[in-house]
A and B are shown apart, each in its own frame.
Chain A
Amino acid sequence: MSLIRGTGLRKTFGDFVAVDGIDVEVAAGESFGFLGPNGAGKTSTMRMIGATSPVSGGQLRVFGMDPATHAPAIKARLGVVPQTDALDEELRVRENLLVYGRYFGLSREQVRARTGPLLEFAQLTEKTDAVVESLSGGMKRRLTIARALINEPSLLLLDEPTTGLDPQARHVLWDRLFRLKRDGVTLVLTTHYMDEAEQLCDRLVVMDRGRIVAEGSPRSLIAQHASREVLELRFDAADHAERVADVAGIAERVEVLADRLLLYVHDGDGALETVAARGVHPLSALVRRASLEDVFLRLTGRSLVE
């Protein structure tokens, strides 16, 4: 069964089109990502799915229901982690969970029984009675996720779950999300991070300016829109475009960035040898596997994180 089905989904703010007719379908148990740069329309889409933003056009069904008419019933089964933590700062850590659970009509006993395991899950047991303000960014994010799980949702919406966190905090969070996925929770997340999308998503769509520009599993997207490996070359040049001629014919495709050239090739080391054999000497060279970043660059001509 599909938990989310959107067809020709649009969101406009006055004359401005934030989401421009997208089709999405998310099946139960799947983990699905919206990948895109700032302003792509990710949050707008998530808010429509979360029934807190009316659909401007097209059709949307969440759990088979129309958000326009069944918002409370949809929200009862959803967990929402918004882009910026909106914890209740006037309440303590544990109280945030207790009170949030009551908004879902859960009994006091039910919420009390659930808070312990959730705090444990979020690794916040020591912070039970702390004021929210005293938590670090990563802790706040985990508390927001724990809070979103209080109603035991079957679908969890995460808007940029790890933006602004340090690498270690990100890994902790990814680990928690893996566990949820393993427990059968459907995850829908947005991100600008390629590695995050590759780590967490079974399937994703790449969004740009309100449209979906590609769709598939991280692997298939890389296979379709990038080569197997990438050779990055840095030259002592003000404009790297001048050096494109030096590497002509070596790669399937060459991408010119401000500070380097990207050569899309099957065999990176082989390509580097060819470059050296031509007597071209870059300042530095790096061979890596192609990533979603490359896919994005290919599809939009821009890099993801500016």
Chain B
Amino acid sequence: MATTSAAPSRRALPFPVALARPAALVERNLRAARHYWLTFVSGFFEPVFYLFAMGVGIGALVGSVEVDGREIPYAVFVAPAMMATSAMNGAVYDSTGNVFYKLKHSKLYRSVLSTPLRPWDIAAGEISWALLRGLIYSAAFLLVAAVAGFVPSWWALLAIPACTLIGLGFAAVGMAATTYMRSWNDMDYVQLAILPMFLFSATFYPLATYPPVLQWVVQATPLYHGVDLVRALTMGDLHAGLLVHVAYLAVFSAFGLWATTRRIGKLLLT
């Protein structure tokens, strides 16, 4: 994974080394995860359980929903939403609680900053790690949903990178938010932000259900853009409007990365 080079060749090989630094942190997390593989596996089951509870259970009651004048089975409607939300949840989980522990309790980043790694490398490394994990979960989820017959289009394969983008945004912003937390209690604010998004971002019913004013509110949230993007892809409903979602999430991610890097430097390089 990481390109290796001894110290003297450092300056001669700027590009691979730029990746090697965050990769060293990813490698560290991989090693630590070996001792906690169960947590790792459980992350896969949560969205799958939701999918079957909602798609099969609720789906039996609801039957189908109407999106843009088309009737689609409820499971097909809800599966992409579960995929997008689990990308969000996984990213937030990794970038808040885990990062808070390393920042405040284990002082990991403090010792990492005594080595050539910079705040940017820490941000990039931690977020890459969250994305790598998310990537595995997304792919596995998609496979299960497809086998269950909830994924009508091959464009759905693009939902995997789309989920990576969602993960990037939430991991970056989540990590930035974590740098402001003073105690574990502050973690409740994260739930306060995540839960309404999970429930109301056109996850369980179409956007058109809301009155126009609330539609605007929902459309301002990042998860809505993620859900709508992934849903369009799994249903094979491609159109130029999706680029708006991509752009929104890209800006959201860039902001998070910038803020995280700045905050880590501010907190630890004092």
Contact = CB atoms under 8 A, between A and B. Distances in A.
B270 A53 contact: yes
A50 B111 CA distance: 11
Given A75-B116, A86-B108, A102 B7 contact: no
A87 B6 CA distance: 24
A102 to B, nearest CB: 4
A89 interface: yes
B251 interface: no
A76 B10 contact: yes
B158 interface: no
Interface string B107-125: 1101111111110000000
Interface in A79-129: 80, 82, 84, 86-91, 95, 98-100, 102-108, 110
Interface residues of B, number: 31
A300 interface: no
B240 interface: no
Given A52-B113, A86-B107, A105 B28 contact: no
Nearest to B17: A105
Contact of A108 (B4, B5, B7): B4
A261 interface: no
Contact of B4 (A13, A76, A82, A107): A107
Contacts of A105: 4-7, 10, 17, 20-21, 24, 116
Nearest to B270: A53
A99 B111 CA distance: 12
Interface-centre pick from B24, B27, B31, B115 (highest chain A CB count, 10 A)? B115
Contacts of A53: 269-270
Contacts of B114: 50, 52, 75, 78, 80, 82
Contacts, number: 92
A103 B268 contact: no
Contact of A72 (B32, B35, B116): B116
> Number of contact residues on A: which range applies?
20 to 34
A104 B25 CA distance: 11
B10 A102 contact: no
A75 to B, nearest CB: 5
Nearest to B112: A103
Interface string A238-276: 000000000000000000000000000000000000000
A99 B31 contact: yes
Contacts of A80: 111, 114
A274 B111 CA distance: 57
B55 to A, nearest CB: 37
A102 B24 contact: yes
A103 B112 CA distance: 7
B106 A88 contact: yes
A77 B114 CA distance: 11
Contacts of A88: 28, 32, 106, 108, 111
A54 interface: yes
Nearest to B106: A89
Interface in B21-62: 21, 24-25, 27-28, 31-32, 35
Given A103-B24, A105-B20, A107-B4, A76 B116 contact: yes
A160 to B, nearest CB: 16
Contacts of B2: 102
A91 B7 contact: no
Given A76-B116, A104-B7, A90 B106 contact: yes
Contacts of B112: 103
A200 B6 CA distance: 32
Contacts of B4: 105-108, 110
A106 B116 CA distance: 11
Contact of A91 (B32, B113, B115, B116): B32
A91 B115 CA distance: 18
A65 interface: no
Given A52-B268, A88-B28, A105-B6, A71 B108 contact: no
Contacts of B106: 86, 88-90
Contacts of A77: 7
A151 interface: yes
A42 to B, nearest CB: 16
In this complex, which of A50, A75, A88, A105 has the most chain B Cβ atoms within 10 angstroms of its Cβ? A105
A151 B7 contact: yes
A42 B36 CA distance: 39
A105 B24 CA distance: 8
A75 B115 contact: yes
Contacts of B270: 13, 53
Contacts of B31: 91, 95, 98-99
Contact of B7 (A76, A99, A100): A76
B115 A103 contact: yes
A84 B107 CA distance: 10
16 contacts: A72-B118, A75-B116, A76-B7, A76-B115, A77-B7, A86-B110, A88-B108, A99-B24, A100-B111, A102-B2, A105-B4, A105-B6, A105-B7, A105-B20, A105-B116, A106-B4
The 7 A-B residue pairs with the shortest CB-CB distance in the complex, in nearest-first order: A107-B4, A103-B115, A72-B116, A90-B32, A102-B24, A86-B111, A80-B114
Given A50-B114, A71-B118, 4 more contacts: A100-B115, A103-B21, A103-B115, A105-B116
